[in-house]
């Protein structure tokens, strides 16, 4: 029991010494109720991580479609158009030019 408490203390002490990386506010996509192909969407990110050259990734059933984004200073919003893809609930991510991927959530492409 004493050994377990010592190990827990050592683990917590080492974690406390690690630097934290602030990644910003959650990223989301609107409209929240989905949209049809060709309609606009906006990705909102409170961490100002949406930089020029970022792409939205729409993934369904292992197939990913890339959509170019128009970013807007101070880089907390980006706009695009829903791609012409089959209807369904897509997993949305943003890929920055440096390769970092930001999870956004799900988005329903409507028929």
Q: What strands lie across the sheet with 40-45, from one edge to the other?
A: 27-30, 40-45, 77-81, 70-72
Q: What strands lie across the sheet with 35-36, from one edge to the other?
A: 35-36, 101-110, 88-95, 55-60, 63-68
Read off the pTM.
0.75
Ranges of each domain in the chain: 24-110
Pick the CATH number of 24-110 from 2.60.40.10, 2.40.160.40, 3.40.50.300, 3.40.50.150: 2.60.40.10
61 Cβ neighbours under 8 A, 6+ residues apart: 88
Do 109 and 35 contact (CB within 8 A), yes or no?
yes
| Listed residue (73, 78, 68, 62) closest to 27, CA to CA | 78
> 63 has which bridge partners?
60
pLDDT at 6: 52
66-88 pLDDT per residue, tens: 999 999 878 789 999 999 999 99
pLDDT at 18: 41
Higher pLDDT, 15 or 28: 28
- Sign of the four-CA dihedral 80, 84, 85, 88: positive
Round the CA-based radius of gyration of the chain to a whole number and report it. 19
Distance CA 28, CA 78 (A): 11
């Amino acid at each position: 029991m004493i050994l377990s408490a010592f190990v827990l203390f050592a683990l917590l002490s080492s974690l406390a010494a690690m630097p934290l990386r602030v990644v910003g506010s959650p990223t989301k996509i609107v409209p929240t109720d989905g949209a049809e192909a060709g309609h606009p969407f906006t990705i909102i990110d409170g961490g100002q991580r949406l930089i020029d050259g970022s792409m939205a990734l729409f993934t369904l059933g292992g197939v990913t479609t890339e959509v170019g984004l128009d970013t807007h200073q101070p880089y907390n919003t980006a706009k695009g158009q829903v791609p012409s893809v089959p209807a369904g609930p897509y997993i949305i991510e943003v890929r920055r030019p440096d390769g970092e991927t930001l999870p956004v959530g799900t988005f329903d492409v409507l028929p």
